[in-house]
Structure 1
Amino acid sequence: TMKILHLIYDHINNPWVGGGGAVRCYELNKRLVKMGHKVTVLTGYYPNAQNYREGDLEFYFVGSGKSYTLSVFSYTYEAIKFLKKYGKNFDLIVEDFAPWNPVFSFLFHNKLVLQVHQKEGVEIIKRYNLAGLPFYLIEKFYPKIFKNIIAVSEISLKKFRIKGVVIPNGIDENIIQENVLLGDYIGFIGRIDIYHKGLDIMLQAIKDIDVKLKIAGKGKDEKKLKEMIRFHNLDQKVEFLGFLYGEDKIKFIKNSLFMIMPSRYEAQGIVALESAAVGKPVIVSNIPELSYVTENGFGLSFQKESYTDLRDKIIYLLKRPELILQLGKNGINYAKKLTWDNLSYQYEKYLTDLIRDDK
């Protein structure tokens, strides 16, 4: 039995983030507990968050819930305090890396794993100008301190210029469909972060197309997104559904024609995997991290940030229902290889080998 401390700011119910890293953390740790291990997850506080446990999987929320910014930075401070006090009680520490809240776990333990997702690079400077410089530098140098690294893709390792093992994101095998159906709208589901997820590009792209777009998700830009929909006179065409989870989320993807992921940067994109599992093609921006969608034949890509190219790809697919069905079938075949159950065995083996290794 291993006693593991997992440090990650994000949590699946966090109204500000609730992204793929949080889903991964929950799905893998839930399975580690079933294998007989004990996992404590230290995560960022948000309004009304309460500590809870599911058997030997415990969630502790630390920091301030007054605002997203305060929550992120106070999490770092509180996590370091927690590590000082309790770090040695654990056999192993897993730190999920984000440049906004490095918790310097290497100062408190010698059995450590850093999990890396996406590298934002110059996007940080583009977004925050000079204020982004410290985070740009943290992202550049911090991961290089760690010896044991898990990445969600080879591309992430290359971009960070580090060595590590790849354990990708996955899907729950229960959602894999056998039959593909044509829906009646195009969909986006994910964090409502306009810049990161390229939602501005998507709204521009659908302006002149006769199609219904449904957007699901939560995040800090919800109000701004609604204003944008009004500004572009898209109230009749675009429907914002808010946050969907579990069965509702899968039903939303399943009933679509296809999904859109217009991200400016991304890690691996669990939504693309979930779409594949239910037989739905995805139109993705042509960033390297999402190239597996076209390589495995379950979607199309468009030139990142080009709303005209995205518009062309949407029209192209809308005119070809037989292609939508074929891409959907390809997606199902791909998703069968990437279930959380299979990935959790790889994850557990990596962690147990690390504890046994006394070097």
Structure 2
Amino acid sequence: MKVALLCHYSGDMTSYQGSDIYTSELVSRLAGCDDIDLHIITLGSVNAVRREGGFTCHTLRKNGPLSLPYFHPLVLFRMVKTVRAIRPDIVHALSTRYPNSAACMLLGSEYPSLVTAFGIFEREIAHYREDMRPLERALSHVFHTFFIHNERWVLSRAPELVVDAPSVGELVRTLTTGRIHVVAAGLDLAKLRSQGPPLPPGEGPDIVFINTLTRLKGADVLLRALPGVVEAFPDIRVYIGGRGPQEPELRRRARDLGLERNVTFPGFVPDEEKYRCYRQCRMVVVPSRWDCQPSPLFEAAAFGKPVIASDMSHPGIVEDGVTGLVFRSEDATGLGEKILRLLADDAARESMGRAAAARIGEYDWQRVAERYVAIYRDAIREYRQHGGRIAAPTGASPER
């Protein structure tokens, strides 16, 4: 089976951006499948075709001086031409972003097509703009408006759509008539479980937040929840790790709330140290204002730790009261109450952690790749059965 995967791919396995990790891990697993002939189509500084790691990478040069921020005139048509020359069995756009998703849809009458939606950009961009400088914000209203319209068009046309949480599937149900497949992002269990021992007792955090420090990720909500927690547990230790535009504001807020003794801002946290923190802590907090099952949900479960997650992080992996707790986004008081509940009940905390760890195996990247291969085969079969058209079921619930 020949697969044309349209995506942003740099080959840099050290990126900490969620979509880059997703792409690298999925490419690695698909390239290892004996019956998959994988072709990556991506953008870069030069035109190039190279064979590496079990797949072929086709790099298309951006349009140099003709390029505008976020938008590359004419590259869309070169991408379509490249895919046609490959003659794949299926075309897969990894994200709804332009130009990958647009090229996938333009080829929809010629090949079976599939789009993976990492999120809903139209929902996210308002939060990102709050961290932008004035000029960048103004440009965003120009160029990102185009991205939003492209996303709407792609979602309305995609015959096969992958999302990573059932709740996201329900949100896009009104935007598409295509089949929705729920495939959660994965993690490398072998890598995580091979990490070193936890930090010595008394040295690590009790509560961990490690993510990009942007308004979207909601670290300020965690800070607003902490005064009542510290009053009940004066020696509680909280790590707010990561870098981002919200960091100076978060540090000021921690000082204003009198939390300097309890809250540590370690800055960028390398994987090895992050995993040691997860091993040591009592719980992980994911207070996102918008997210689609971010990696801390999975990483915490891999180390047997309960998660307290906002409902807007779309934490399909978290079963409220069984593997963790879910609170209403922005509700700092509710978050504080749930933190206190877990701190006061060692048995419940440990029970939730064990339940989370028992289920995490289904999210290993190898299983995710196998799920994609099954979707590819099914999409190709449906396409051929309907003479090059997908009979999209309307009103169907998201599929697993």
- Where on the TM-score scale, by shorter chain, does this alignment land: which range? 0.7 to 0.9
Q: CA deviation at 1:353?
A: 4.1
Whether 1:272 and 2:271 are equivalent positions in the alignment is: no
Query: In structure 2, do the counterparts of structure 1 residues 246 and 184 end up closer, same or farther at CA, with 3 Å as the change threshold?
Result: closer
Greater CA radius of gyration, 1 or 2? 2
Whether 1:328 and 2:353 are equivalent positions in the alignment is: yes
1:86 alignment partner in structure 2: 82
> Structure 2 residue aligned with 1:204, among 205, 224, 239?
224
- Encode CA deviations 1:152-189: one digit per residue, 9 max, x unaligned: 23322221123322222222232359xx9896421112
1:116 alignment partner in structure 2: 117
Extract unaligned runs of 5+ from structure 2: 130-136, 389-400
Extract unaligned runs of 5+ from structure 1: none
TM-score by length of 2: 0.72
Query: In structure 2, do the counterparts of structure 1 residues 262 and 110 end up closer, same or farther at CA, with 3 Å as the change threshold?
Result: same
d(CA) in 2 for partners of 1:282, 1:114: 29
> Structure 2 residue aligned with 1:164, among 180, 183, 188?
180
> Structure 1 residue aligned with 2:215, among 189, 195, 210?
195
Moved more, 24-33 or 90-99: 90-99
- Encode CA deviations 1:324-358: one digit per residue, 9 max, x unaligned: 21111011111123222222112112224444653
Question: Given that residues 4 and 40 in structure 1 are in contact (C-alpha distance below 8 angstroms), is that contact kept between their aligned partners in structure 2?
Answer: yes
Q: CA RMSD in A?
A: 3.7
Question: Given that residues 96 and 115 in structure 2 are in contact (C-alpha distance below 8 angstroms), is that contact kept between their aligned partners in structure 1?
Answer: no
Moved more, 244-253 or 310-319: 244-253
Query: In structure 2, do the counterparts of structure 1 residues 26 and 79 end up closer, same or farther at CA, with 3 Å as the change threshold?
Result: farther
Query: In structure 2, do the counterparts of structure 1 residues 155 and 141 end up closer, same or farther at CA, with 3 Å as the change threshold?
Result: farther
Question: Given that residues 96 and 116 in structure 1 are in contact (C-alpha distance below 8 angstroms), is that contact kept between their aligned partners in structure 2?
Answer: yes
1:226 alignment partner in structure 2: 248
Percent same amino acid among aligned pairs? 21
Query: In structure 2, do the counterparts of structure 1 residues 245 and 345 end up closer, same or farther at CA, with 3 Å as the change threshold?
Result: farther
- Encode CA deviations 1:69-88: one digit per residue, 9 max, x unaligned: 94xx14x5585254044222
Paired AA for residue 107 in structure 1: L
- Encode CA deviations 1:29-63: one digit per residue, 9 max, x unaligned: 211111133434455779xxxx9944436485965
Question: Given that residues 309 and 326 in structure 2 are in contact (C-alpha distance below 8 angstroms), is that contact kept between their aligned partners in structure 1?
Answer: yes
2:26 alignment partner in structure 1: 28
1:132-171 matches, within 5 Å, as 134-161=146-173, 162=176, 163-171=179-187
d(CA) in 1 for partners of 2:115, 2:252: 42
d(CA) in 2 for partners of 1:353, 1:261: 35
Question: Given that residues 152 and 167 in structure 1 are in contact (C-alpha distance below 8 angstroms), is that contact kept between their aligned partners in structure 2?
Answer: yes
Paired AA for residue 203 in structure 1: L
Q: CA deviation at 1:255?
A: 2.1
Query: In structure 2, do the counterparts of structure 1 residues 84 and 121 end up closer, same or farther at CA, with 3 Å as the change threshold?
Result: closer
Aligned residue pairs, count: 341
Question: Given that residues 9 and 23 in structure 2 are in contact (C-alpha distance below 8 angstroms), is that contact kept between their aligned partners in structure 1?
Answer: no
